[in-house]
């Protein structure tokens, strides 16, 4: 007899965001051999979702509450032309005027504990907007530009707004001092630049306590 079981994910993402390393847990009614469970789930899931790994965890494991770090990556393709299979997974910028070194320098300012009120969608701003970023880098590999960020938790649209602000610096519309001022706790969402599109963003990895 089939019984429903709720699934708890490690975190939510905006519509259109991809997840390479999403983690979820559920209480199974029967004991499954992990490989058979993977095959059974993938046979019924839609084409855009695949289970890549499965295993038995302790009864008190919680996919969201036990996560200590979450890594996101945002992909930008900076060239006059773009491969069609890349378009759904990267923000395509055709201009050649971007100073990615300036953007990279600004990205490093995100590391540490800051007030990210200016990096949060206004409608979802919580009382506490302080977050701790362990790692933040913007780097270029040929035509591909990647923003990588690791933190314990995030505000709504925080990564996409951060990328928008980095693009404002890289394009020369804003400077590093402006970017730094967004982290001092006196600014709100209106002070930031645009929220970039969701399709370039990936939930890359979720880290748990050992």
Point out the residues that are catalytic.
Answer: 14
Separation CA 183–CA 177 (nearest Å): 10
CA–CA separation, 156 vs 174, rounded Å? 23
User: CA torsion, points 85, 86, 87, 91, in degrees to nearest 10?
Assistant: 170
Element (H, E) at 79: none
φ and ψ at residue 109, rounded to 5 degrees = -70, -20
Task: Quote the CA–CA distance of 51 and 38 in Å, as a whole number.
Answer: 6
Tokens 């890289």 label which residue?
Answer: 170
What does the alpha-carbon distance between residue 70 and residue 75 come to, in Å, rounded to a whole number? 17
Residue 52, Ramachandran bin (φ over 0: left; ψ between -120 and 50: alpha; else beta): alpha
CB 92 within 8 A of CB 127: no
């Amino acid at each position: 007899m089939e019984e429903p079981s709720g699934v708890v994910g490690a975190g939510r993402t905006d519509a259109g965001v991809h997840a390479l390393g999403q983690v979820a847990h559920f209480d199974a009614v029967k004991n499954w051999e992990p490989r058979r469970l993977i095959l059974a789930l993938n046979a019924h899931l839609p084409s855009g979702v695949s289970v890549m790994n499965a295993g038995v965890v302790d009864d008190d494991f919680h996919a969201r509450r036990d996560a200590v770090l979450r890594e996101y990556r945002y992909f930008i393709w900076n060239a006059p032309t773009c491969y069609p299979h890349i378009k759904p997974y990267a923000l395509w910028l055709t201009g050649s005027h971007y100073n990615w070194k300036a953007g990279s320098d600004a990205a490093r300012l995100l590391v540490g504990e800051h007030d990210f009120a200016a990096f949060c969608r206004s409608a979802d701003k919580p009382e506490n907007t302080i977050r701790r970023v362990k790692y933040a880098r913007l780097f270029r590999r040929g035509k591909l530009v990647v923003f990588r960020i690791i933190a314990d938790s995030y505000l709504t649209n925080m990564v996409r707004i951060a990328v928008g602000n980095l693009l404002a610096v890289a394009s020369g519309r804003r400077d590093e001092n402006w970017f730094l001022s967004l982290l001092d706790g006196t600014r709100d969402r209106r002070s930031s630049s645009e929220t970039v599109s969701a399709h370039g963003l990936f939930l890359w990895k979720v880290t748990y306590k050992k």
